[in-house]
Amino acid sequence: MCVTCGCGEAGDQGVRVTALGEHEHEQVHGHPHAHPAVDTLVLEERVLARNDHLAEHVRAWLAVRRILAVNLMSSPGSGKTSLLERTVAHLAPTREVCVIEGDQETTYDAERIQRAGARAVQVNTGAGCHLDAGMVQRALEALAPDAGSLLFVENVGNLVCPALFDVGEHAKVVVISVTEGDDKPLKYPHMFRAADLVVVNKTDLLPYVDFDVDALTQRARSLHPGVTVLPLSVRTGDGTDDWYAWLDRLASTHDTPREGAVHGAAVRP
């Protein structure tokens, strides 16, 4: 969590959710000041506990509607949005796909997803460097995905904070590109430890860069033993069938509502 700026604390930032011309604005003022380390630890625990509570409510709301949620995380420029565009085009004929787009500013990515054939909402976090469960909760209210949908949450480009914030997803996917270096797991261990899948994008550039897929795989599995590492190229399509197959296997485990979910419950607790 960003304990320096407090961006993860509810009430410390303005968040804008935009859905196809509909606007929801929440402007909150103030900025945390420096506190002793013990206060910082308490703040982290309080913020994460509140977020986890909201995330479980979101997950229950999705489960009763058989909506599978996948949280895509990466550094900027890895190709998350391009991967989603190709995925939407592939899956749209057989299954509804909805996307929550997270960025600090602009609606460019949501517009790209819409042109690819999926409904999308844009969450602009301002100075915030990640999405949290509360933001996803509000985005779901605007998006209103149909039962049985596949929901992608494209997180803000950042390999630090998104790993710590559960947003109600069923799986976390980390996307990196071969232009970033195969040492990313060593530099960002929390992200790779949390990942259910590691996608290595832009493999068409492997002949031109110094990147070792085997080394990346070994480093990722030293943090998360057995994690699947999936090399692919969104540009050429190589390896994307394996990505679709992984999504199919994940979806097969979420076809029935979770026990205890309440039909008709609102997104908000």
Give Cα 41 distance to the centre of its chain.
Answer: 25
Q: Which residues contact 104 (CB under 8 A, 6 or more apart)?
A: 124, 125, 126, 127, 128, 129, 156
Model confidence at 243: pLDDT above 80: yes
**Which domains does the chain show, CATH number per domain?**
15-252 (3.40.50.300)
Q: For the chain, give the mean pLDDT.
A: 85
Model confidence at 259: pLDDT above 50: no
pLDDT in tens, 21-65: 443 333 333 444 444 555 544 555 677 889 999 999 999 999 999
pLDDT in tens, 60-93: 999 999 999 999 999 999 999 999 999 999 998 8
pLDDT band per the 50, 70, 90 thresholds, residue 267: low
pLDDT band per the 50, 70, 90 thresholds, residue 269: low
**Which of 116, 146, 151 has its CA nearest to residue 136?**
151
At residue 19, the pLDDT reads 65
The whole model's pTM is what?
0.82
Q: What is the percent of the chain with per-residue pLDDT over 90, rounded to a whole number?
A: 73
Q: In this structure, what are the phi and psi dihedrals at residue 185, rounded to the nearest 5 degrees?
A: -60, -35
